[in-house]
């Protein structure tokens, strides 16, 4: 393909993304922005709270924490009045707060289900961090609770709102490097000791529940398909004090209905943040792929590899917060609803089962 | 680590490699170079024959082919007299040719065992292309035949003589990026139809027997360990006329005694040529990793990725031919003897069994 054609195609896809982003930003003026209560004030919540300043349709209106000092500190920083600061004990009274439309659950994984259900019962829409919960059964309970309450549920898959990932999805699904044959996806970091992520009771598992889910979710969104079967292998040094109850590394293979194969890495003892979509005519790679920033896209076609510039668009955190706000305003379905979180957990359960039983496992069987 | 330290370490390793290469080149003068007969005059043999010109201790002295026109063409090109040109029918009379020390078998995989055994019985040392054979049983027969004849056997693992790969092995085994935790290795190309590689009777298998063996062998040489267990998954479109009898893609996971995990790709429908060694402190990557030329090394440490220059040294094909010649001259064991080919086949059999039976397989069990 000539260089001109290549540029035209990428520009076309990019323009589409920019137009889509602009559409959202140009929605009709409204009386007020959608109000979010953030539940759980750890490190990631701190980052999220700082992102409301970039939002068009979302604002931070309440805080929930078991630590009074955090409520005081972040309440002051974000001008959240004492009436809008909650403990876990009085959390359910959030039902009476009309400034809260959404409860954003950023708690340890094992607490996602409980707080999602309680938020739905309090009449609030729910944004919940990934992994959605620690089992498919919990995921289904959360979906059911939100449905019963007539409230929306979205999972915090921020990469779906990140411009490089959005472009990669478009290019992969449109065969920019031919039909996809293989996807490699690797995510990992060196886990620091003494944190809830390393406690199975709170995290529900190890690296796969935390960083490995990015490897899995990326392959699912790059293919637009659900894996048929998985095969997994774990490697954990149980003498390492970090890994008393959770796994370190777990690698897994997936096969998709169209025949795409995928090799994935999940690790708590090495740094990885990359994926590559390999088609019959070349490949599209992101590295870093799913971090908070610094994403880079590389495209290999016609025998050469080039870095690909990507139209900027709205940043992923603000994009995610605004998207759910717009879904509420327009009564539309989120791009990544509870069913998306459930789909990941279904595969995660199959991966753990495969590693444990030493056999290939059909997903959902 | 400071930039100076980084450069010093790499320069140190590089200097060692250059010294090792120089040692070989500076061996005492001898009466004559070791004479090679090339058996099978296909595309790869044509490349090999052109490389004797770069050798210090090896020379091309005989040709074996079933096609008289090829014997005529290459015989003329390389000044091989008619007395040193053999058909498969009179191949065994090569025993009477004192100009032939080594028979280099570059035939379709299913013929490796027969011609290795016949060459050994003719009193010749044997260099055999990879995969060594189509089963571990054949590999053992070949090893036994060479041992019984008192002749040496080496497998054509050319990457072991390629400077980037040699440096990567040194760096990986010496913990340049910390202890290795994960290795990813991907090899594949778009197979053209109508060739012996796609005929199971000749090839013994599909992509894994041809290009996937690079993924496997690289992980073995980068770890210096033998895998304990493997798990594999195949994806082949049987409606594609290329894949009537052999597999297209087969991905596999391996676990090693030290706990290293590996994810590997083997493909006949997408282009891959890369590996990456990920340690606790960064990674070492080659891409292209195992081609004929154009290798590039990248090192990621301290949060940044840099291309790493590698001292040139002797090129891989000449290095391989000269190495075996020197083993014969000095009566030493080749770096990659028959046992190395057998070790790969042992894992390949486990990979095929895992894919077929849908379960994790212990290697050699």
By C-alpha distance, the chain A residue nearest B250 is A261
Q: Are residues A313 and A101 in contact, defined by beta-carbon separation less than 8 angstroms?
A: no
How far away is chain A from the Cα of B195, in angstroms, using its nearest Cα?
19
Which one from A130, A268, A314, A352 is the annotated catalytic residue?
A130
Q: Are residues B204 and B344 in contact, defined by beta-carbon separation less than 8 angstroms?
A: no
DSSP 8-state class, residue B134: S
Just give the CATH number of B159-311+337-362.
3.30.360.10
Question: Is A255 part of the contact surface with chain B (CB cutoff 8 Å)?
Answer: yes
Confidence band for B364, pLDDT divided at 50, 70 and 90:
confident
Q: How far apart are CA A35 and CA A61, in angstroms?
A: 5
| CATH 3.30.360.10 domain extents, chain B | 159-311+337-362
Of the options 3.40.190.170, 3.40.1180.10, 3.40.50.150, 3.40.50.720, the CATH number for the domain spanning B25-158: 3.40.50.720
Contacts of B279 in chain A (CB under 8 A): 270
Q: What percent of chain A has pLDDT over 90?
A: 90
| CATH 3.30.360.10 domain extents, chain A | 159-313+337-362
What is the structure's pLDDT at A16? 47
- The answer to whether A231 contacts B229, with C-beta atoms less than 8 Å apart, is no
Specify the higher pLDDT residue, B299 or B10. B299
Name which of B190, B181, B211, B216 is nearest B354 in CA terms: B216
Active site residue A214: yes
| Tens digit of each residue's pLDDT (9 = 90 or more) over B76-92 | 999 999 999 999 999 99
How far away is chain B from the Cα of A350, in angstroms, using its nearest Cα?
14
ipTM of the complex: 0.91
Active site residue A70: no
Give the length of chain A. Answer: 365
Q: What percent of chain B has pLDDT over 90?
A: 90
Alpha carbon dihedral A318, A15, A312, A328, in 10-degree steps, equals: 0
| CATH 3.40.50.720 domain extents, chain A | 28-158
Handedness of CA A173, A175, A178, A179 (dihedral sign): positive
Choose the closest CB to A190 out of B267, B269, B280: B280
Rounded to the nearest integer, the mean pLDDT of chain B is: 93
pTM for this model (two decimals): 0.93
How far away is chain A from the Cα of B336, in angstroms, using its nearest Cα?
29
Q: How far apart are CA A312 and CA A303, in angstroms?
A: 27
By C-alpha distance, the chain B residue nearest A180 is B270
What is the structure's pLDDT at B344? 98
- Does the domain formed by A28-158 have CATH 3.40.50.720? yes
Quickly list DSSP for A247-310. -SEEEEEEE-TTS-EEEEEEESSS-EEEEEEEETTEEEEESS-SSSS---EEEEETTEEEEE--
Interface with chain A: mutation pick from B181, B258, B358, highest number of A CBs within 10 Å: B181
Q: How far apart are CA A285 and CA B76, in angstroms?
A: 48
- Give the count of beta carbons closer than 10 Å to the beta carbon of residue A176: 24
Handedness of CA A270, A286, A207, B183 (dihedral sign): negative
Choose the closest CB to A270 out of B253, B263, B280: B280
| Tens digit of each residue's pLDDT (9 = 90 or more) over A137-158 | 999 999 999 999 999 999 999 9
How far away is chain B from the Cα of A337, in angstroms, using its nearest Cα?
31
Confidence band for A27, pLDDT divided at 50, 70 and 90:
very low
What is the structure's pLDDT at A3? 45
| Tens digit of each residue's pLDDT (9 = 90 or more) over B310-354 | 998 899 999 999 999 999 999 999 999 999 999 999 999 999 999
Q: How far apart are CA B318 and CA B322, in angstroms?
A: 6
Question: Is A246 part of the contact surface with chain B (CB cutoff 8 Å)?
Answer: no
The yes-or-no verdict on residue A65 having pLDDT over 60 is yes
Interface with chain B: mutation pick from A185, A193, A233, A272, highest number of B CBs within 10 Å: A233
- Which residues of B are designated catalytic? 130, 214
CATH T-level fold of A159-313+337-362? Dihydrodipicolinate Reductase; domain 2 (3.30.360)
What is the structure's pLDDT at B1? 41
């Amino acid at each position: 393909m000539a260089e001109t054609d290549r540029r035209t195609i990428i520009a076309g896809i990019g323009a589409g993304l920019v137009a889509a982003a602009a559409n959202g930003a140009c929605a009709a003026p409204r009386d007020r922005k959608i109000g979010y209560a953030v539940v759980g004030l750890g490190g990631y919540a701190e980052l999220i709270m700082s992102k409301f300043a970039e939002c068009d349709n979302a604002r931070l209106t309440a805080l929930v924490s078991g630590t009074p000092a955090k409520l005081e500190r972040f309440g002051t920083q974000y001008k959240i009045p004492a009436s809008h600061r909650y403990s876990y004990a009085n959390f359910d009274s959030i039902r009476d707060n009309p400034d809260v439309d959404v409860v954003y659950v950023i708690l340890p994984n094992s607490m996602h289900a409980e707080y999602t259900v309680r938020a739905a019962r309090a009449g609030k829409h729910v944004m919940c961090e990934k992994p959605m919960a620690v089992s498919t059964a919990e995921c289904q309970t959360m979906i059911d609770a939100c449905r019963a309450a007539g409230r929306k549920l979205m999972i915090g898959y921020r990469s779906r709102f990140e411009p490089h990932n959005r472009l990669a999805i478009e290019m992969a699904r449109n065969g920019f490097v031919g039909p996809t044959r293989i996807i490699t996806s690797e995510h990992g970091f060196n886990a620091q000791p003494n944190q809830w992520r390393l406690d199975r009771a709170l995290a529900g598992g190890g690296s796969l529940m935390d960083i490995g889910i990015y490897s899995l979710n990326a392959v699912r969104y790059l293919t637009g398909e659900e894996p048929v079967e998985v095969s997994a292998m774990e490697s954990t040094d149980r003498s390492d004090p970090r890994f008393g109850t959770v796994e370190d590394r777990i690698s897994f293979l997936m096969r998709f209905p169209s025949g795409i194969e995928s090799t994935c890495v999940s690790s708590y003892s090495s740094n990885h943040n990359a994926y590559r979509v390999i088609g019959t005519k070349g490949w599209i790679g992101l590295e870093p792929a799913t971090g908070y920033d610094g994403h880079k896209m590389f495209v290999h076609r016609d025998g050469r590899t080039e870095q690909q510039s990507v139209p900027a668009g709205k940043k992923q955190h603000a994009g995610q917060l605004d998207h759910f706000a717009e879904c509420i305003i327009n009564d539309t379905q989120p791009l990544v609803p509870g069913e998306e979180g459930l789909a990941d957990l279904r595969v995660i359960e199959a991966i753990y089962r495969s590693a444990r039983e030493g056999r290939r496992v059909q997903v959902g069987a």
